[in-house]
């Protein structure tokens, strides 16, 4: 019988917060979710929802050293059809703060089964991240999406050791400005 993945990779699965631990962390102010709805709390995750705000880059060819501007638009009541080969930026309805755990944003299985990816590489947040989540959305085939649909789930991992520089207090943090809109790549602020 093969070993469980957690043992194979050396993961300690007890490090993921359960529903009761998420609630306890919220009571202590270590996790903030606004708006919070009890029915969105899963066994060991919290469901987040797609806001009406989407954006796409204005240029087809992006430059990692340049500030690539985006164009914002809203999902109409009848939904919006996402097309393959377009990099969409979306945002969550929920504003979150995480002060003592590492938040991971993963797509829901029902979203994945529609061929929707909600993050290209940035599923992990940082301790101290305080904002709405920007989603990097791509699709395998055309799919209609709607404001308020469940889009992902937040999973919280315990962190070992003292945090020296929480994300919201780092001068180098590029995504600290609170906004409900999707935010474009700030790669151009790096020196390389």
Q: Provide the mean pLDDT of the chain.
A: 89
Better-predicted residue by pLDDT, 133 or 178? 133
pLDDT of residue 185: 85
Under a CB-based contact definition with an 8 Å cutoff, are residues 69 and 57 in contact? yes
Domain-located, residue 99:
yes
What percent of the chain is modeled with pLDDT above 90? Answer: 70
pLDDT of residue 14: 52
Domain-located, residue 4:
no
Under a CB-based contact definition with an 8 Å cutoff, are residues 131 and 32 in contact? no
User: To which H or E segment does residue 48 belong?
Assistant: strand 46-57
Domain-located, residue 6:
no
Domain-located, residue 144:
yes
Domain-located, residue 162:
yes
Assigned token pair, 130: 């305080």
Domain-located, residue 49:
yes
Q: Which of 136, 160, 177, 184 is catalytic?
A: 136
97: annotated active-site residue: no
- For residue 100, give its domain range: 13-182
Domain-located, residue 5:
no
The Cα–Cα gap between 15 and 188 comes to: 35
Model confidence pLDDT, tens digit, residues 19-72: 999 999 999 999 999 999 999 999 999 999 999 999 999 999 999 999 999 999
pLDDT tier for residue 8 given thresholds of 50, 70 and 90: very low
Domain-located, residue 178:
yes
List helix spans (H) across 70-158.
Answer: 109-112
pTM of this prediction? 0.86
Task: Indicate whether 141 pLDDT > 80.
Answer: yes
The Cα–Cα gap between 27 and 21 comes to: 10
The Cα–Cα gap between 115 and 113 comes to: 5
Task: Domain count for the chain, please give it.
Answer: 1
């Amino acid at each position: 019988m093969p070993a469980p993945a957690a043992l194979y990779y050396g993961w300690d699965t007890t490090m993921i917060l359960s529903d009761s631990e998420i609630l306890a962390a919220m009571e202590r102010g270590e996790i903030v979710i606004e708006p919070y709805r009890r029915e969105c709390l899963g066994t060991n995750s919290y469901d987040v929802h797609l806001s009406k705000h989407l954006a796409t880059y204005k240029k087809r060819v992006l430059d990692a050293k340049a500030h690539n501007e985006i164009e914002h638009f809203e999902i109409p009541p009848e939904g919006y059809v996402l097309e393959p080969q377009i990099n969409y930026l979306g945002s969550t309805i929920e504003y979150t703060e995480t002060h003592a755990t590492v938040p991971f944003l993963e797509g829901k299985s029902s979203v994945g089964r529609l061929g929707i990816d909600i993050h290209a590489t940035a599923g992990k947040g940082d301790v101290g991240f305080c904002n709405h989540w920007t989603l990097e959305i791509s699709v395998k085939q055309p799919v209609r999406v709607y404001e308020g649909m469940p889009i992902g789930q937040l999973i919280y991992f315990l962190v070992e050791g003292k945090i020296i520089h929480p994300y919201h207090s780092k001068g180098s943090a590029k995504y600290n400005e609170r906004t409900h809109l999707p935010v474009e790549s700030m790669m151009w602020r790096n020196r390389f």
